[in-house]
Amino acid sequence: MLNTSNSPLQPHGEFIFENNGQMVHVPLDIGALPPGRAAEVDLSALRQQGLVPGNVSMGSLVINYDGQEAALMGRVFGIADDPTFGFYTALETSAVPKLSEAYWTVAGDANSFLTVANFGNQPDQVSIVVTYDGGTLVLPAVALQPYQSTTVNARSLAGDLPQHVTSGGFRIAGSSTRTSRLVAKEHVVSEAARTSQPFYNLIVYVQAFSVSNQYNQTVTDLNLLPGDTQTIYGMEAWSDGTIADDFNDPTSGNNSVVTLTADCCPLRPDQTVTAQGGGDTTITWTTEALTSDPQGDWRTWTAYASANVQVPTSLSVISQGTTTPPPACYVGGILLPYSFWGYIRYQVLDQRTPPQPIRSSRMYVQELIQNTYFNGIGPGSSGWWVWFDSPSYQGSSRNTDANGTFLDVPYGACGSSSATWTEEQLFRIVFNPQASGTAYVVRDHQMNGSMSGPGVGRLTNSFADINIHNP
């Protein structure tokens, strides 16, 4: 070990190995390191002192010190009986959840050994994928206790790989992008060439973090109606092209607009967004994830999604005109001599200022007529809310179209003489075809009508946005 700083260091180390199913920690006597000085620790001395049994062939090294990042550098050398044939590797400054593309080859007499150690503080399930030109080979997951390691002999995989394949890479991942801490070392050994070459893998890091849907598509806006629910996920995009779900809980900027409920797992950790009331708010999702920093630093990532809940509040008139009389105006196939009928197309609007269209076909329309006076005689009333559709007229439906509009057709009167009338007309919106749940009254206006001949008359209202007449 070399102290590269301008200050003295006091490293503390352990050699950790597995023996009879138990992890054993042996302290290392390193001593103080003045600035610029190096210290050598003879690991073989641990065996000579009886601290490491003879059947132990590998273990993990952990060196801690108080000082600046990279102030201490570490290298491990192993020398065979033939001093021209040795082993060399560098100590890492960080342990990470995922690693990729550690090179392996079995060309000629070469062989490759990959060792993966769990440097986390809890047991882990480590997956290893062998990559090669044309495919991959997924190895069985390996359970590792803290500081336990496993080794893969590339030549032992020959029976599971195509015969022509002699090289490729390894991809290594722990079970959790949040808590897994892995270190991998890989050597290519050739006795003919008298070499043992270390090959270093790439740290896999998070490149982007976003709120997503179940199809792993980024979600930036949630447009909801009262009572709607939508499932969202926190999606980490890693540098090896994989994605991972985040296990943290997001927050709602306003629980009166949307609430969030966690559901973990059994397949994926998700959050259910439930619309509560009208308004706009922001869903904030924060996590800690590995960055592309060479030191393997972790940083805070934050993703946002806007949630907009539109509540039906009012109507606007977007078109109007005259239409043909309904079948009730015909007696014995003959049209009554006096009638006047019109149509009005309404757009459902939300609670915002200025009101915005609610573009949804999931709104069901009901109508109530009351306080009707026909030629001054009244009041009359339909007495209850009725579904709003007239099957004999094209375009009439009890629910809105995809743009959130509906057609009031026909509206008017017919009879054997001229007439005038007024009545109170109310519309409300429900989101359930059985009319259960909350109903939203979106218009309460007075309609005024007159007829003075066949197809001659006028329709107006108290809001002054309806004026249908002939002539």
Q: Does residue 441 form part of some domain?
A: yes
- CA-closest candidate to residue 299, choices 201, 233, 209, 183: 209
Kindly state whether residues 448 and 360 are assigned to the same domain.
yes
Chosen domain end from 309, 333, 357: 309
Q: What is the CATH number of the domain that holds 225?
A: 2.60.40
Chosen domain end from 155, 176, 204: 204
Kindly state whether residues 319 and 432 are assigned to the same domain.
yes
pLDDT at 327: 82
Q: Does residue 326 form part of some domain?
A: yes
**Residue 204 near residue 104 (C-beta atoms within 8 A):** no
User: Which pLDDT tens digits describe the chain residue by residue (471 residues)?
Assistant: 999 999 999 999 999 999 988 999 999 999 999 999 999 999 889 999 999 998 888 889 999 999 988 899 999 988 777 766 777 888 888 888 988 878 899 999 999 999 999 999 999 999 999 999 999 999 999 999 999 999 999 999 988 999 999 999 999 999 988 789 999 988 898 888 888 888 777 788 888 999 999 899 999 999 999 989 999 999 999 888 888 888 889 999 999 999 999 987 666 788 999 999 999 999 999 998 877 655 557 788 999 999 999 999 999 999 999 998 888 898 888 889 999 999 999 999 999 999 999 999 999 999 999 999 999 999 988 778 888 777 778 888 899 999 999 999 999 999 999 999 999 999 999 997 775 678 999 999 999 999 999 999 999 999 999 999 999
Domain range for 171: 94-204
Kindly state whether residues 173 and 30 are assigned to the same domain.
no
Kindly state whether residues 195 and 274 are assigned to the same domain.
no
Q: Does residue 450 form part of some domain?
A: yes
The torsion angles phi and psi of 148, rounded to 5 degrees, stand at -85, 150
Dist CA 127 CA 111 (whole Å)? 21
**Residue 288 near residue 303 (C-beta atoms within 8 A):** no
Q: Does residue 22 form part of some domain?
A: yes
Chosen domain end from 29, 44, 73: 73
Q: Does residue 287 form part of some domain?
A: yes
Token readout for 105 is 């080859």
* HSE toward the beta carbon, residue 418, CA cutoff 13 A: 7
Q: What is the CATH number of the domain that holds 191?
A: 2.60.290.11
Question: What's the domain count of the chain?
Answer: 4
Q: Give the start-end residues of each E strand in 225-363.
A: 229-238, 243-245, 251-252, 258-263, 270-275, 279-290, 298-309, 314-322, 330-331, 334-335, 338-349
Kindly state whether residues 220 and 187 are assigned to the same domain.
no
Kindly state whether residues 187 and 211 are assigned to the same domain.
no
Kindly state whether residues 192 and 212 are assigned to the same domain.
no
Neighbours of 246 (CB within 10 A): 25
Q: Does residue 431 form part of some domain?
A: yes
Q: Does residue 83 form part of some domain?
A: no
> Is the whole-model pTM more than 0.85?
no
> CB-based contacts of 165: which residues, under 8 Å, 6+ apart?
132, 133, 134
Q: Does residue 79 form part of some domain?
A: no
pLDDT at 224: 95
Kindly state whether residues 31 and 158 are assigned to the same domain.
no
Kindly state whether residues 297 and 327 are assigned to the same domain.
no
pLDDT at 225: 94
